[in-house]
Structure 1
Amino acid sequence: MTTARDNYPEYFAEKLWEWLPAHYRDLDQSEGGGALRAFIESLADQAALLKRSQDRLWDDAFVELASDWAVPYIAQLVGTRLVSAQNPRARRADVAKTIYYRRRAGTLSVLEQLIADIAGWQGTVIEEMGRLARMRHGLDGTALQGRLTGTPEGGLADLRSSRSALLGGGPFDEFNYTPDMRRPNGETGRRGIAKLSFHLYRLGVVEFRGVQPRRMKRLAGAFQGFTFDPSGRDLALFSPGDATRTGGEGGTIREWSLPLPISCSLLGDARYRMDQRVRAWIMDESRQGAPIPSRDQRLAVANDLRRLEGELFADAASLRRLLTGLPSAPILTQESLFAGLLLHGLVEECGSAALLPDETGDTTMGAASLGLSFTSVERPPMIPRHRSCSANLDDWSDAPPAGVEWVVQPEKGRFLVNRGGNSFASLRVRYHQVVPASVGAGALGREPDDSAPSLLWNSGAFGDGTPADGAVLIQDSASYVNPPDQPALVRCQVRAAEGERPYLRLNNFWRLGAGTNNAELTLDGLWIGTRSVPRSVVLQGMGTDANFERATLRYCTLDPGGIDANGGTLPAVTLVIDCFVEELLIENSILAGIRLQGSDAAVSRLIVRDSIIHSRTPGSVAIDLATTHLCIQRSTLLAPSLSETAINVERIHAEDTLVAGLVHASDSQNGCFRFCARPAGSTVPHPYRSQLLGDGGGLFASRRFGDPHYLRLSDTAPVGISRGASNGSEMGAFCRENEPARLDSLQTKIREFTPFGRLPNLIREN
């Protein structure tokens, strides 16, 4: 809970202290050891609580401002049936919108609104009745047709459309189905007259700007192959979605309106109309582009384009073919003029217009999903959409079409680019990616640090290096190679700016040494990786009296390793302790492992919260600190296999933690292991309401770092783990997401506002 900055405790403590006779105050200081003062301060704390409650009496009358304890009292005034107290956000939204929901009960608008208000996710609701294949009759009227395939309602699908096949089963499906009489349960029993499908998109999408991509393929000619990911991994690019869209009131839902992985077909969906806007551009004498010498020629070209009024062209090739049959074809098919037709004739209702930027870097529908630019001044701010296309780059061999400067494969996050006369170091990309909740570098909801830095790192340069006593602020998301060592730390902080995720690549070990016996170090918001050879972040001391009083890693990712886009190995980056550390704090971070090095190395106390420690190398241990007291909460730890050791410590206090590996605590009489899971054969103290893991198969949706579902529990995970935490949520690093409570709350409200006789079906899309 955040501490109020009203100074009430200090004020009341001094006030009460002054009321005491001076004789007793002197005795307390000389003989009492401050016991009386401590008692007065405890009374002052309670007085501060009462004062704050009095100050908030007026606010507590309004649901938007009320404290959590006051929300149920307001709910009684409007007769709301409250959801679980584990979901306070849903409680507040439910009370605030009770009248709104009841006035519109039974409509798709309210049902879609419930997804955002109660669960905090994005989603859409589909009436399955409209997707049933059937014979139509005269009272049906004109059948609506699918936007992509032209498939009529209830009719046969055009199986030649590959994109329509990719959308099958989702909210944008254009196929029609026979009825399924089973009761709906996720993917089974979905089709029927009375069934409503709630498509839920649970994972959060984060935008990364100014990222320096990694070159993965050297090609002959001007084009070179890159990955969006600075480490060189394949990753799926996502559309940003529209979190502000209200249910059913924002118009027709399109693919780019939801946080979906972008497909090649969606990114390449470019449709054109030669309407009044294009003709006005042709007639504009001040326009940029290839000139048309005379006004008569401009009139002739505009008249030819008027013949195409109302026609919708599915792609640029279709438009070019038709233009070649017009009298003005020699002018219209010039590359520079044709590029202008593509620029001004693109319709808003297509994937290219919604996801790719124009010259300014934005789209007509808001911020673009992805973009590419150079930091040099020779190029425009962003490569525009009419100079971009999508393609399959599995072997990096697709030849770009004429006039194209940027080719993207969004399913794997690869691209080819013509860099022109610009350097590779000046290349920057922008994209959206799913991140594992509030864990790791670039996490959702990272708390900003507003303290003033003493040094700045920017554009891959380290400035004056790592300070011994001071704070470094990394101002962008560029790649930094070999951050400077600092052997004599006193109090040092290296943090990324809010909204940035810099990538620090180690060609050597990053050595951070204590220069005093109570040094402090904080790493915040950093992604640290390496190539080819394993490297480590090493905490060490200059001498026998040099140690760390506290070392903290917040929202950091020490790369757990994997495979890059060319099949090469990405080694893990471990945290190595080569000195004495009084307290090591790991919060909201992803690590590959923690181990000791040297005979004098030790960690007195290790605290791990809301983090992932994933050891992939056979024989390695995630936490190998034999003399350490470990306090771990809401975390996920993985060994290379369930039969290998994941934790080796002296004493352990664990809560809401999932350990996919053996746990060995040498002190089995002290500590606890409550609401946790571990394999059989582990040595843990006083297990309470804990689970034993089976063979571990199917426990996680993905074990590959970089996947959207990295270490998320799969839908087949045992209920004792998926709902086994102390708050009824899942065990592990995503416990605080409280997904089970949010899902239960949503189901409760759906049953309340769904029309009688309808069967709701919740489908978890991502």
Structure 2
Amino acid sequence: MNTNADRLYDLLPVIYRQRDADQGYPLRALLHVISEQVNLVEADIAQLYDNWFIETCQDWVVPYIGDLIAYQPARDAGEPSDISTQRGQMRNRVLIPRRDVAHTIRDRRRKGTLAVLESLAQDVAGWPARAVEFYRLLAVAQSINHLRMQRGRTVDVRNGSALERLGGPFEELAHTADVRRIISQHRIGRFNIPSVGVYVWRLKSYSVTEAPANCYEEAGPNCFHFSVLGNDIPLYTPPAQAEPPHPPQELDVPQAIRRRPFEQSLLKKTFDYVGAGKSFQIWVGTPRQAIPQEQLVAADLSDWTYRPLPGQVAVDPLLGRIAFPPNQARRQGVWVSYHYGFSADLGGGEYDRTLAQPAHHQLYLVGEGQTFTRINDALAQWQTDQPANAVIELSDSGVYVEQINVELKEKQTLQIRAANRKRPVIRILDWQTSLSDSLSVSGAKGAWFTLDGVLVTGRSVQISGDIAGVTIRHSTLVAGWSLDCDCAPRRPTEPSLELLNAPDCINIEHSILGIIQVNRDEVKLDPGRICISDSIVDANSLDRIALGAPEGLCAHALLTIVRSTVFGRVQTHAIELAENCIFMSPLLACRRQFGCLRFCYIPAGSRTPRRYECQPDLVVHAVTDQFNAGNGSMSPQARDALQQRERTRVVPDFNSTRYGTPTYCQLSLACAEEIVRGADDEAEMGVFHDLYQTQRVANLRARLDEYTPAGMNAGILFAS
């Protein structure tokens, strides 16, 4: 499409353009307006053609194409939302998946097969899956004349690999019959003739590319962690580049690597997990040289007692540890590429994210092979140039060990960000003996600072001066500054973000932070604005203050928080809005006449503004209504006991509350329905609201019922 604003004006004869120029171009201005409308009409005509096809149509057209092939959305997942809002469009993509509509006719032709159940999980919910017919795992009495050696075998205690897979999607041991149904609403069974289990993997596999390994000097100079934070982290298989085969094997799904198959791949020299584009790779030396695959050995390095032989390198994929021979001097660095597991695109990570910057800005590239190799070198050039808007982009996933101090002038903006699909680490050490160290940012009035896609460890980020605003986006400020091997924070009481009388406004989006400490003059300054969305604020304990002021006081701030999870107490001047959030500790708002909390979990003992549809208020009110309508059938003591049981029942339950573990902040399967479907759009409360996992499960259940053969029961089982 021609978007030239002078497209109609250029068609005029030159004589008319000359006369128009003599009169100040009034005709040209008129044709600019007409050309703009012509472009809109042409774009609409082009889009109308694209809307004929499911691959290229707009999102709002997908349900209409589905109607043409009698596609029925799952009503248990909820009604479609308003397509005029961005959040409504996001929810509708889950309720009516484009891939499911596109593959409907193909799946109907394959109805009744195991392969179609696996593809349904990918199309409907976006989860890799493996379908298992449990009747094949039943212990049966076999005929001597017709033996099936691969079916119904008793347990071989010498087969350690099979025992490790017990109870999972790749199990091969025989079981006695389980009479419970796999689709039971109470307690599901598995091993029965009509039962088919569809195992799904909800965790995703994320990459880290050519990052320095962490030397664990407590165990020795030849001991390393894959994670730069020094914590144990299981290595994951990379995401599949194409549709996996049927049935998918362990290499085809995003799950933690077990030691036994890793060892077998090394012994058989298939090297399924090592190499470019695979699970991990290790480099040493300068220039970097990849360690030959033949030198790797699988080992259990849980206590670091294993010592590899000369010429070997031991790797523990379950803990993410590396051990070199003790007699091999480690004078050169070690670099690694690997994959780890997590639930969503959150915090610093090598995932696709949108980059935003002013229209006119100066770009400074930092990294290997770029103009600058250190952040401070780019900052020095930035201070010399003094542009109004600047972006310092880190182009690799390396570790930058520097002392960073940023001073912004009036109305100046600066953005320190990672390049798309990169995860650089800023490590701040104890540089100054008599002073505190931090990534400090200060500025004059009207200045704005942005931190995007970066992981900060070692110390906190400190904001001071008259700076107008700060944006922290897709970043991780490690709670407790750094981690031990078991992912426990090393400085659990230290803040990750310190606000010293600044800024007037701070935006935190899709990030993971520790304690936020606000030290603001309540006499001279108005309350600052803190806006948190789709993030985790972790105080490392439910008894500590996650957001507050020094000395345990309330932060002089107006808080707006949506779709977030907070571990620790929140003490603030006022809460403008809290929506679809989980607060695991009491809230304290000094000003209660202002603001609103809706569709949140708020523990007992909180002092908040008015609440709407919050838990456990709803379950407590339900018991009260039951007591009032019982006409004396329930005693006050029984009412109080029932209310306490209901409060306990709806307390959010997580698979892990430690940062650094794959299931960090993921709601467990035992979590109450009021939390799992407690948001305003029936999604889960908390930071993973936008995953719409409840809607995905409801959609998948409806599709499984449609495509499962008569007499069979297909149930959803969560492998992660």
TM-score (norm 2): 0.79
Contact 1:443–1:555 (8 Å) recurs in 2: no
Q: CA deviation at 1:554?
A: 0.3
Instruction: Provide closer, same or farther for how the CA distance between residues 450 and 175 of structure 1 changes in structure 2, counting only shifts above 3 A.
Output: farther
Among 337, 341, 366, the residue aligned to 1:457: 366
Report the equivalent of 1:372: 282
Q: Which residue of 1 aligns with 2:450?
A: 522
Is 2:315 aligned against 1:408?
yes
Match of 1:482 among 376, 382, 402: 402
Find the counterpart in structure 2 of residue 433 from structure 1. Answer: 340
* Counterpart residue identity of residue 157, structure 2: L
Paired with 2:330 and 2:362, the residues of 1 have a C-alpha distance of 30
- Which residue of structure 1 lines up, in the alignment, with residue 639 of structure 2? none
Deviation at 1:156, TM superposition (A): 1.7
Correspondence list, 1:263-662, <5 A:
263-270=258-265, 315=267, 346=268, 348=270, 353-357=271-275, 362=276, 367-374=277-284, 376-377=286-287, 381-401=289-309, 403-404=311-312, 406-417=313-324, 426-442=333-349, 444-449=351-356, 454-458=363-367, 461-466=374-379, 467-468=382-383, 469=387, 470-489=390-409, 490-508=412-430, 509-530=437-458, 535-541=459-465, 547-561=466-480, 563-565=483-485, 570-571=490-491, 572-597=494-519, 599=521, 604-616=528-540, 620-624=544-548, 626-639=555-568, 645-662=569-586
1:79, CA displacement in angstroms?
A: 1.1
Structure 2 distance, partners of 1:176, 1:88, is 41
**What is the distance in 2 between the residues matched to 1:563 and 1:439?**
18
- Which amino acid in 2 is paired with 1:66? C
* Alignment partner of 2:710 out of 749, 756, 762: 756
> In the TM superposition, what is the alpha-carbon distance from 1:453 to its structure 2 partner?
5.8
Question: Which amino acid in the other structure matches residue 691 of structure 2?
Answer: E
Cα distance in structure 2, aligned partners of 1:373 and 1:161: 34
* Structure 1 position 735 matched with structure 2 position 689: yes
> In the TM superposition, what is the alpha-carbon distance from 1:167 to its structure 2 partner?
0.6
8 Å CA contact retained: 1:455, 1:464 = no
Residue 229 in 1 paired to residue 234 in 2? no
- Among 117, 122, 130, which residue is 2:123 paired with? 117
C-alpha root-mean-square deviation of aligned residues, in Å?
A: 3.1
Asked if the contact 1:483–1:504 (Cα under 8 Å) also holds between the matched residues in 2, the reply is no
Distance of 1:628 and 1:180 partners within structure 2: 57
1:309 is matched with none
Q: Deviations over 1:563-617 (max 9, x none)?
A: 4128985225521111332221000001112222353676522111100001126
Corresponding residue to 2:175 among 150, 174, 177: 177
Counterpart of 1:76?
67
Alignment partner of 1:675 out of 599, 607, 619: 599
Residues 621, 648 of structure 1: 8 Å contact kept: no
Whether 1:262 and 2:190 are equivalent positions in the alignment is: no
Which amino acid in 2 is paired with 1:635? S
Deviation at 1:527, TM superposition (A): 0.8
Alignment partner for residue 57 of structure 1, among 36, 43, 48?
48
Deviation at 1:180, TM superposition (A): 0.5
Q: 1:719 aligns with which of 661, 673, 688?
A: 673
Whether the 8 Å contact between 2:259 and 2:317 is mirrored in structure 1 is yes
- Tell me the distance in 1 between the aligned counterparts of 2:684 and 2:246: 36
Relative to 1, partners in 2 of residues 1:94 and 1:235: Cα closer, same or farther, differing over 3 Å? same
- Code of the aligned partner of 2:284: F
In structure 1, C-alpha distance between the alignment counterparts of 2:336 and 2:498, rounded to whole Å: 33
Q: TM-score, normalised to structure 1's length?
A: 0.75
Distance in structure 2 (CA, Å) of the matches to 1:182 and 1:78: 36
Alignment CA distance shift 1:174-1:596 (3 Å)? same
**Per-residue deviation, residues 78-136 of structure 1 (Å, max 9, x unmatched):** 11112353452543222211110111111111111001111001111011111111112
Give the letter for the 1:143 counterpart.
R
- Write the distance in 2 (CA, Å) between the matches of 1:691 and 1:568: 30
| Per-residue deviation, 1:190 | 0.3
**1:455 and 1:463 in contact (8 A); partners too:** no
Q: Provide the secondary structure at the position in 2 that maps to 1:721.
A: helix
After alignment, is 422-431 or 156-165 more displaced? Answer: 422-431
CA gap of 1:610–1:218, structure 2 versus 1, over 3 A, is closer
Q: Aligned runs of 1:158-173 on 2, under 5 Å?
A: 158-173=156-171
Identity in percent: 28
> C-alpha distance in 2, partners of 1:703/1:429?
27
1:568–1:53 distance in 2 versus 1, CA, 3 Å: closer
Structure 1 residue 510 displacement after superposition:
2.7
Q: What is the SS of the residue equivalent to 1:268?
A: helix
Q: Which residue of 2 aligns with 1:130?
A: 136
Change (3 A) 1:550 1:268: same
> 1:195-274 counterparts in 2 under 5 A?
195-217=195-217, 224-242=222-240, 244-246=242-244, 250-270=245-265
Shift of 1:402: 5.2
Aligned equivalents of 2:476, 2:526: Cα separation in 1 = 23
Q: 1:450 to 1:581 in 2, by over 3 A?
A: closer
Residues in 2 aligned to 1:503 and 1:103: alpha-carbon distance in whole angstroms: 50
Aligned mates of 1:171, 1:653 — CA distance in 2: 43
Offset of residue 493 of structure 1: 0.8
Secondary structure at 2:608 match in 1: coil
CA contact (8 A) 1:578 1:601 kept: no
Whichever residue aligns with residue 61 of structure 1, its letter is W
**Residue-by-residue CA offset, 1:658-683 (whole Å, 9 max, x unaligned):** 11111122232222111111101212
Gaps of 5+ in 1: 12-40, 145-151, 272-314, 316-345, 542-546, 640-644
Q: Which residue of structure 2 aligns with residue 88 of structure 1?
A: 93
C-alpha separation in 2, matches of 1:254 and 1:552: 43
